[in-house]
Chains A and B, each alone.
Chain A
Amino acid sequence: MMAVEMRDIAKTFRSARGPNHVFEHLNAAFPRGASVGILGARGAGKSTLIRLIGGSTLPDHGKVRRVGSISPPVATTQAYHAALTGRENLHFVARVNGFDGDAAARFVARFAQMGEAIDHPLSSYTRERRARFLFAASYAMPFDIFIADEALFGGAGVFRERCAELVQARRAQATLIFTTRSPQMLRRFADIGAVLHEGQLHMFDRIGDAIRLYRTIDDSAADAPLEDDDTEERYVDEPFGPLA
């Protein structure tokens, strides 16, 4: 049983420097209940792939079939509004997806140790609190499929460790699809390894095979440090919604 199937996907971005064919005939299938980690070099189309899976970008051609509810990419802010409180934003996302907003708000308040701040507007959050809110909120609802583009967990100190445990817990309950440039992340969170290269997705049942292929493609990746720190910063700096 497949959670996400992609058939004959084509996606081209047109810019002043001419068209950029990210995918021309991409086929992929992500099995239900498994965690798939996708390795890819810079510019391989990892973000585009995640956005196609999540539906925030539509393919020029081809079909994406999703079975079950799908989360927005982890720690993205597009659905949130800076002027609304954390609780109101969570209720909105829960209501749209048919989940229990109160349960989600209780979970986030407890897990991110937000206390009363859950009832303050997002624009008033400090940097650290914002990161905690975003990551806790990403895993607060029982989606069937979770997707993440580079940032899988984040925050600082003890929260960061608990957040990683939370990802492991969700991985046991749902389908997880994430991209990364770090082989260590794959070892830690994936059941199935995949490499995105030249518009094709190569999948391996053994993580080691995926990492070996990735290293032959991208030499610089061999000794690359764990990079989630830097990608996490990237997401946390993004302002909330249109008002911020």
Chain B
Amino acid sequence: MSYIPPFDAPRRGPDLSRIAEGLRTQGRVIIALMLREMRLRSVQSRLSYLLALLEPILQLTMMMTIFTFIGRRPDFGTSLLLFLGTGILPFFLFTHVSGRTTGAIRASGLVRALAPIQPLDIMLARALLETATLLIVAILLFTFIYATGVKDAIPSRPMLAIQGFAATALLAIGVGLINGVIGAFFRLWAIIYGVLSRSLIFMSGVFFVPDFMPPPIRYFLSWNPLLHGLEWFRSGFYLTYPTLTLDKSYLIGFGLVSLLIGLALERVFRPRLI
């Protein structure tokens, strides 16, 4: 492809001040896009953003009701609520961030409306806003679980939980960028990806502890990067959580590679992203 982009700065070699200037512009643009997006979510109803925050809590309550009804015991620890909560949160982080980035470019209607806005900024703004939303959801969710009387809901090793959250977010943003480019060409991708990513709930260890699975199944499951994010996050809450399957470098490597693929795709297809 012989595409050469328009450039806005004076013709000089790349030096640090230009890179800093570029990053400042990009930061400004992404923050502006995030604020706009946040405002637009509460346009139809003032409750809609609140509902987005409460959705995981509602879903967790539903699951709890069903599981209590069939008399299921938690695979680990004493509280089924906490066990499911620590599983569902990284899962939601991944599906929401990577899923919502899929339609970001078209939904914004802003591609090349203003010279400083690039398609990458639109995708990143949405991914980062969704990550920030899920961070608030996490705080709400674990406060809620704590309030129901589960004292373990405050992570015993908070750094592990934060690292797990960050690594899962990296994975989600990387996959989200790839999705964003595919979604710009192929509308149905949002639906297909939605179904695929939701089915991951059964393979990511939300309902079970991977280390308690038979080795052949464990090996098969270990290819799923999201499972490692879940393990990592959960190990921050339980002191004795078994982490034999957990491979942190696999998760981070997978995240970085998808981020690079996503950035490369955006760069190659930038002239055609609408």
Binding site for B on A (CB under 8 A): 54-70, 72, 76, 78-79, 81, 83-84, 88, 92-93, 95-98, 241-242
B215 contacts partner chain A, Cβ-Cβ < 8 Å: no
* Chain A residues in 8 Å Cβ range of B3: 58, 60-61
Across the interface, B11 reaches (CB within 8 A) one of A65, A83, A95, namely: A65
Q: Are A58 and B110 in contact (CB under 8 A)?
A: no
* A56 and B6 in contact, given A81-B40, A95-B28, A96-B29 (Cβ under 8 angstroms): no
Further pairs besides A96-B114, A96-B117: 17, Cβ < 8 Å: A55-B6, A55-B112, A58-B3, A58-B5, A58-B112, A61-B4, A66-B6, A67-B8, A72-B113, A81-B36, A83-B40, A84-B43, A88-B36, A92-B35, A92-B36, A97-B116, A242-B107
How many of B's residues come within 8 Å of A, CB to CB?
32
Interface centre among B9, B35, B36, B115 (most CB of A within 10 A): B115
Q: Are B115 and A92 in contact (CB under 8 A)?
A: no
Listed A/B pairs (5) with beta-carbon separation below 8 Å: A54-B115, A55-B112, A60-B3, A81-B36, A96-B29
Shortest A62–chain B CB gap in Å is 7
Q: Are B115 and A79 in contact (CB under 8 A)?
A: no
Q: Are A72 and B114 in contact (CB under 8 A)?
A: yes
Q: Are A64 and B28 in contact (CB under 8 A)?
A: no
* Chain B residues in 8 Å Cβ range of A95: 28, 31-32, 35
Q: Are A98 and B8 in contact (CB under 8 A)?
A: no
Q: Are B115 and A66 in contact (CB under 8 A)?
A: yes
* A69 and B115 in contact, given A83-B43, A241-B109, A242-B109 (Cβ under 8 angstroms): yes
Q: Which residue of chain A has its CB nearest to the CB of B24?
A: A98
Across the interface, B4 reaches (CB within 8 A) one of A57, A63, A79, namely: A63
Q: Are B109 and A84 in contact (CB under 8 A)?
A: no
Q: Are A66 and B8 in contact (CB under 8 A)?
A: yes
* A62 and B4 in contact, given A92-B36, A93-B114 (Cβ under 8 angstroms): yes
Q: Which residue of chain B has its CB nearest to the CB of A51?
A: B112
* A65 and B7 in contact, given A83-B40, A83-B43, A98-B25 (Cβ under 8 angstroms): yes
Q: Which residue of chain A has its CB nearest to the CB of B270?
A: A58
